[in-house]
Amino acid sequence: MSNEKDKQLKAHTVDTTQPAALTTNQGLKMAEDEFSVKAGERGPTLLEDFHFREKMTHFDHERIPERIVHARGYGAHGEFELYESQEKYTKAKFLNDTSKKTPVFVRFSTVQGSKGSPETVRDGRGFATKFYTEEGNYDLVGNNIPVFFIQDAIKFPDLVHAIKPEPHNEIPQAGTAHDTYWDFFAQNPESTHMTMWTMSDRGIPKSFRTMEGFGVNTFRLINKQGQSHFVKFHWKPLLGTHSLVWDEAQIIAGKNIDFNREDLYEAIDKGDFPEWELGIQLIKEEDEFKFDFDILDPTKVWPEEDVPVQIIGKMTLNRNVDNVFAETEQVMFSPAHVVPGIDFSNDPLLQGRLFSYTDTQLLRLGGPNFHQIPINAPICPFANNQRDGLHQHQIHKGMTSYHNNGINNNEPHTTPAGEGGFEPYHERIEAHKVRARSDSFLDHYSQAKMFLNSLSQPERQHLTDAFSFEIGKCKLDFVKQNAVNNLNKVDKKLAEEVALRVGAEVPTADEESKETKVSKALSTLDTIKKLDTLSVAVFVTADSDAKQIKSYLKELATNKVNYKLIADRAMKLGDLKVTETFDTVHSTSFDGILVADVAEPLMPPVKDSIEAANRHYKTIGYTQKVQSVLAQTAVKEGEPGIVLVGSDLKDYLNNLVEQRHWARKL
């Protein structure tokens, strides 16, 4: 597996597993690396010790500023293949040629937390993809939620200040459950729709592999004839869209802050390559004003029932990075990185993003030459008259570095649009200069209500619980009240329920949105459900029937289900090795548990794992042998997803594939 980007990166890769003499950065072989040069064995260190100084100085400068948002992220390499040429809509070559696989690099992230924060916090998730195309890099810098908190980029610093830990005490880390966020929510009601999404199950994805991705902003596709279509981009995970439950997410945030990256790394490492299909929603230029929302407003979805998502290709992530800093940390994305055939709309959020992403790298990556860092470099040739600057790696030979020049035949030359040169879409604009918002952007509640209308009962319950948790964490009563009052403009019942739980006055005004529209695509209840790569903890003891356990494991493996054997201590069961114990893992790390055998008396961590699986609605299999032990827990036989297993796992697997059993009574 080696594509053009892999080959390019290889030229910069240093294989540290090979024998090599330890040298200074000047190539000087060193006879000693453990002791500094001193005046006598017990004396002070001497300034002349250049090796000590170089080693320490390099170490002192190892860190770079973390991203102002999306600091906590994880990346992987892969490929994109196109199902069918899209030349009718775009001249972008990577969307025209089905025979070509385009190398990609993807970085997933949380938005709010710092670089070391837990990964299962309630938040949006970044889903940024760099396509290394023959016409230059194209970046689709998206999120796992299709709308954004604000409509105009000028409010981004305000939003981020409100979301991040409060400045006077730097609390809380990586979450919106605090006063400044809910104050922002109430004072800036355009954030209502996205907040409905973050408070829903979408705010706590189970895995990067089970998240959708959305370009959010409206772009344009331009074909060879110069015709434009408005477009929104979608990534649809082939494993379906699955989430955690909040209690589970909070436990994992303590037990395994690397939960999502570990899942991605291990899946790729094992060869279970995650896949997403790329979809596009298109609106013809002449249909721009046919909708009851403004298609340039990034707080609005284009309901899939009205504007169908056309699936055009597939992305597969198939290689972990060799070095997280060099690749995942140094990668930079920008929505301004487009190729001919993809262009911008006047979406005011997008317009501001086009500036911000490059600007922030000047600080983060320390100068204007970040495009030369291997992970960021295009795989096609690049040349212009930009010169010098910090960290310049190229040696530009020749006399000229200006356009137009006569000395060098005006090289590097421009390329006419018809031959692959980029030119902006010839949009006609006639306007007064204003600092204002279009009236067509003023409906902040209809789509928030449509989202609510579209949720299944359990999803709606989760949403109510999440609002109650988050607003309940506010310390200022009027912030709670204003937040509840804003919710009342979406749905009276929701506002009432939350008000009661957080101790606010129940709003009396009859001002809820009258929107009745439902968009099925917004619910994840009927998402794709597959056994592939689900994980099961099989509980065993030293006395378990190894033959039967082996047969269970074989059946799990045949169905592509991953498993781990868990017991109260690490041991061998026949020729099976039990490496995990109730001290090291918990049921929150698995999609289901199979209680084949447990030691008695039932120890608290074992009981806790079983009961957590139960209240997280997971499939629990149990053998007759443990029936009496199970009776000592909160698990109720006969409830959905509580399965008595005999010699095979057929029934168990039929339940496991459902992943959650929402009908279970707790």
Is 370 a binding residue for ligand HDE by CB under 6 A? The answer is no
The residue from 96, 109, 464, 486 that contacts ligand HDE (CB under 6 A) is: 109
Distances (CA, A) of 387 to 203, 298, 394, 395: 44, 37, 9, 9
Binding mask 332-351 for ligand HDE (x = CB under 6 A): xx---------------x--
The residue from 360, 405, 548, 551 that contacts ligand HDE (CB under 6 A) is: 360
Alpha-carbon gap, residue 582 to 541, rounded angstroms = 12
Alpha-carbon gap, residue 197 to 200, rounded angstroms = 5
Alpha-carbon gap, residue 532 to 560, rounded angstroms = 5
428 is annotated as contributing to ligand binding: no
Considering the complex, state which of residue 362 and residue 509 has its C-beta at the smaller distance from ligand HDE. Answer: 362
Alpha-carbon gap, residue 504 to 620, rounded angstroms = 39
364 is annotated as contributing to ligand binding: yes
Alpha-carbon gap, residue 148 to 349, rounded angstroms = 9
Q: Of the candidates 224, 228, 160, which has an alpha carbon nearest to the alpha carbon of residue 191?
A: 160
Distances (CA, A) of 133 to 215, 416, 442: 18, 19, 39
Residues 313/278, Cβ–Cβ less than 8 Å: yes
Interface region with ligand HDE, contact rule CB under 6 A, candidates 14-22, 67-75, 369-377, 626-634: 67-75
The catalytic position among 51, 70, 234, 616 is 70
Binding mask 280-319 for ligand HDE (x = CB under 6 A): ------------------x---------------------
53 is annotated as contributing to ligand binding: no
Is 561 a binding residue for ligand HDE by CB under 6 A? The answer is no
Interface region with ligand HDE, contact rule CB under 6 A, candidates 352-360, 420-428, 436-444, 643-651: 352-360
Contacts of 618 (CB under 8 A, 6+ apart): 587, 590, 591, 592, 593, 641, 659, 660, 661
β-pairing, 125-133 vs 136-143, is antiparallel
- HEC readout, 74-138: EEEEEEEEECCCCCCCCCCHHHCCCCCEEEEEEEEEECCCCCCCCCCCCCCEEEEEEEEECCEEE
Is 156 a binding residue for ligand HDE by CB under 6 A? The answer is yes
The catalytic position among 3, 96, 143, 144 is 143
Is 184 a binding residue for ligand HDE by CB under 6 A? The answer is no
Interface region with ligand HDE, contact rule CB under 6 A, candidates 10-18, 198-206, 355-363, 389-397: 355-363
Residue whose beta carbon is closest to ligand HDE: 126
Alpha-carbon gap, residue 135 to 422, rounded angstroms = 10
Considering the complex, state which of residue 94 and residue 333 has its C-beta at the smaller distance from ligand HDE. Answer: 333
Considering the complex, state which of residue 195 and residue 533 has its C-beta at the smaller distance from ligand HDE. Answer: 195
Q: Whole-number minimum distance, CB 521 to ligand HDE, in Å?
A: 18
Alpha-carbon gap, residue 86 to 80, rounded angstroms = 14
Helices 477-488/457-472 angle, 10° precision: 150
As to burial, measured by CB atoms within 10 angstroms (0-12 exposed, 13-18 middle, 19+ buried), residue 338 is: buried
The residue from 5, 73, 249, 561 that contacts ligand HDE (CB under 6 A) is: 73
Considering the complex, state which of residue 124 and residue 641 has its C-beta at the smaller distance from ligand HDE. Answer: 124
Is 213 a binding residue for ligand HDE by CB under 6 A? The answer is no
Binding mask 111-140 for ligand HDE (x = CB under 6 A): ---------------x-x------------
Residues 556/649, Cβ–Cβ less than 8 Å: yes
559 is catalytic: no
Considering the complex, state which of residue 172 and residue 352 has its C-beta at the smaller distance from ligand HDE. Answer: 352
Contacts of 20 (CB under 8 A, 6+ apart): none
Q: Whole-number minimum distance, CB 104 to ligand HDE, in Å?
A: 13
| Cross-strand bridge partners of residue 293 | none
320 is catalytic: no
156 is annotated as contributing to ligand binding: yes
What is the rounded (10 degree) CA torsion for 340, 345, 348, 351?
A: 10
Considering the complex, state which of residue 70 and residue 616 has its C-beta at the smaller distance from ligand HDE. Answer: 70
Considering the complex, state which of residue 352 and residue 412 has its C-beta at the smaller distance from ligand HDE. Answer: 352
Is 356 a binding residue for ligand HDE by CB under 6 A? The answer is yes
Residues that bind ligand HDE (CB under 6 A): 67-70, 73, 107, 109, 126, 128, 141-143, 148, 153, 156, 216-217, 298, 332-333, 349, 352-353, 356-357, 360
Binding residues for heme: 67, 107, 156, 353, 357, 364
Binding residues: 67, 107, 156, 353, 357, 364
Residues serving a catalytic function are 70, 143
